[in-house]
Structure 1
Amino acid sequence: MDLYKTDPEFAQRFSYFAFEEVVHEENQQLDEKTRYISILATLIGCGGVEAYRELLDSALENGVAPIAVKEIVYQAADYLGYGRMLPFLNATNEILRERGISLPLDGQSTTTITDRLEKGIEVQSKIFGEHMKEAWKTSHINRWLAANCFGDYYTRNGLTLAERELMTFCFLMAQGGCEPQLIAHVKGNLNMGNDKDFLIKVVSQCLPYIGYPRSLNAISCINQAVEQ
């Protein structure tokens, strides 16, 4: 549906805010690829599948490779669950096929079932510090976290570790109610070189898609992580 026909006043104001005011705000700009991967992850995080469909073509046309899109969606399974991730995977496959892109894409896995735990622990330690080498032993959930979340997904090619931490920040920011985890992953982002100013730019560019309350909560979490 063309909102300029059905809801012209809303469409005019939203488009000006999201695509002019926010994009060009002084000292809050991001390169197009980073802006789009952040927005895609944020839309997945908030369940905005229709808006995701609207923006995916633009993302693909502005430097986001199909493999990167798939990696964003795959990683969402750990932070949103399969139930909320699946509509985005289906939408992505549909749009890629419409663009004439053959599926499946080239595989990006770098682990096996037998070494995923070991390599997941290694990645966790790179992001969060040496103490993570023992964290997996504290419970079966933490073992799954190391082997599945980090071993199955963070170790994949297609996104850098810094980009993967950024995606996680966006997933957590957008779904809300995950502030303790969001603070932890702000620290992970800082360790990966995604500094405070950069993360605030990400929040700014994603605000039109998740609204003010969750954006302000994310800023608060950034500040808390920096203070800690």
Structure 2
Amino acid sequence: MSKRTAAMYCKTGARAAALALGMLALAPGLAAENTRSQAVADTQPLVETLTPRQQAIPLIAAFMAGSDIPRLNAALHQGLDAGLSISEAKEVLVQLYAYVGFPRSLNALNELRAVVDERKRQGIQDAPGLEPSRAIPTGDQLLAVGKANQTRISGAPIAGPLFDFAPIINQFLQAHLFGDIFERDNLDWQSRELATVGALAATPGVEAQLRSHMRASMRVGLTAAQMRHLTQVLAERGDRDAARRAGEALTHTLEAASAG
């Protein structure tokens, strides 16, 4: 890490205060994984730590959730230095509007644009990355794809009193979150879950959703050791309260799994 980046991480930032969109994780493990990333994950050996690229993602997400622009700037530099493409960084910040709101997403995207421009002036050529490899379905087909993704990641069709009370929210989840967003295959689903966990860990009051996404992270192929590494990254370079919440969510998830 450069001296400039390290210095920026030392700056104090605003504490995360935004409430994430709670409905997005009331279903067990609101996360998804596209076919291409799943095929890749299935062939990968279990690993114990996050790569430098992966480490940057929850930091980017946590600082975005807390509207901590100076530290977000440093985390974006870190991610790009570690091999995160510009399109992958965009995807992280676009996806997180569903959890921390459009204003924070727009502000973060504007900061990414400024970072990319600054790096170009310095002669740094960052990988542009990819656009989605296929067209996103629309209409009834989109809803069907989203429902299938939701069921797949949750292990069963989602139902319950809340969705009986407000069925439209589940339709929005299926068509937009699981459809429009998670069908975009230019960011793998493990990265999407690392981003979601980072954002929720930085947001007080959404512990149930954070636990749900801890479970989802391991469903898409991340290991318990990697998620423990995520909590260490947050503690060392992010926010200790976020690290504590993430650690508690991981402990809860592992205890529930061992209990059967």
Indicate the TM-score class for this superposition, using the shorter chain for normalisation. 0.7 to 0.9
User: Cα–Cα, structure 1 residues 62 and 111, in superposed 2: closer, same or farther, change >3 Å?
Assistant: same
SS at match of 1:47: coil
Aligned residues: 208
The equivalent of 2:245 in structure 1 is 217
The runs of 5 or more residues in structure 2 that have no matched partner are 12-46
Q: Give the conservation status (yes or no) of the 8 Å contact 1:72–1:167.
A: yes
Matches within 5 A, 1:49-198: 49-100=69-120, 107-108=131-132, 110-114=135-139, 115-132=141-158, 138=164, 139-198=167-226
Match for 1:182: what amino acid?
L
For 1:31, which of 51, 62, 65 is the aligned residue?
Answer: 51
Q: Following the alignment from structure 2 to structure 1, what is the Cα–Cα distance between the partners of residues 77 and 8?
A: 21
Distance 1:75 1:142 in 2: 17
Distance, in Å, in 1 between the alignment partners of 2:69 and 2:60 is 10
Q: Identify if the C-alpha distance between structure 1 residues 176 and 13 changes in structure 2 by more than 3 Å, giving closer, same or farther.
A: closer
The question of whether the paired residues in 1 share the 8 Å contact of 2:88 and 2:129 is answered with: no
- Normalising by structure 2, what TM-score? 0.70
Q: Counting helix residues as a fraction of each chain, which structure ranks higher? A: 1
Give CA deviations for 1:49-70 in whole Å, capped at 9, x if unaligned. 2211123223212111111101
Equivalent pair of 1:46/1:210 in contact (CA under 8 Å): no
- Whether the aligned pair in 1 keeps the contact of 2:55 and 2:233 (CA below 8 Å) is yes
- Distance change (3 Å), C-alpha of 1:150 and 1:14: same
Cα distance 1:43–1:33, how it changes in 2: closer, same or farther (>3 A)?
same
Report % sequence identity: 23
TM-fit CA distance, 1:149: 1.5
> Which amino acid counterpart does residue 130 of structure 1 have in structure 2?
A
User: 2:50 is matched by which residue type in structure 1?
Assistant: L
**Match of residue 47 from structure 1:** 67
How far apart are residue 82 of structure 1 and its match? Answer: 0.3
Q: CA 1:160 to 1:13, structure 2 compared with 1: closer, same or farther past 3 Å?
A: closer
Which secondary structure state, in structure 2, belongs to the residue aligned with residue 157 of structure 1? coil
Q: How many Å separate the matches in 1 of 2:8 and 2:63?
A: 21
How far off its partner does 1:38 sit?
2.4
CA, structure 1 residues 214+99, in 2 after alignment: closer, same or farther (shift >3 Å)?
closer
Q: Which has the higher contact order (CA 8 A, sep 6+)?
A: 2
Q: Does 1:199 align with 2:227?
A: yes
Contact 2:65 2:203 in 1 (8 A): yes
Secondary structure of the residue that 1:175 maps to in structure 2?
Answer: coil
**Equivalent pair of 2:150/2:157 in contact (CA under 8 Å):** no
Residue ranges of structure 1 left out of the alignment (5+ in a row): 5-10, 16-26
1:99, distance to aligned residue in structure 2 (A): 3.8
TM superposition shift of 1:190: 1.6
Asked whether the equivalents of residues 69 and 108 of structure 2 are also in contact (C-alpha less than 8 Å), the reply is yes
CA distance in 2, matches of 1:33, 1:53: 15
| Aligned-partner Cα distance in 1 for 2:98–2:190 | 17
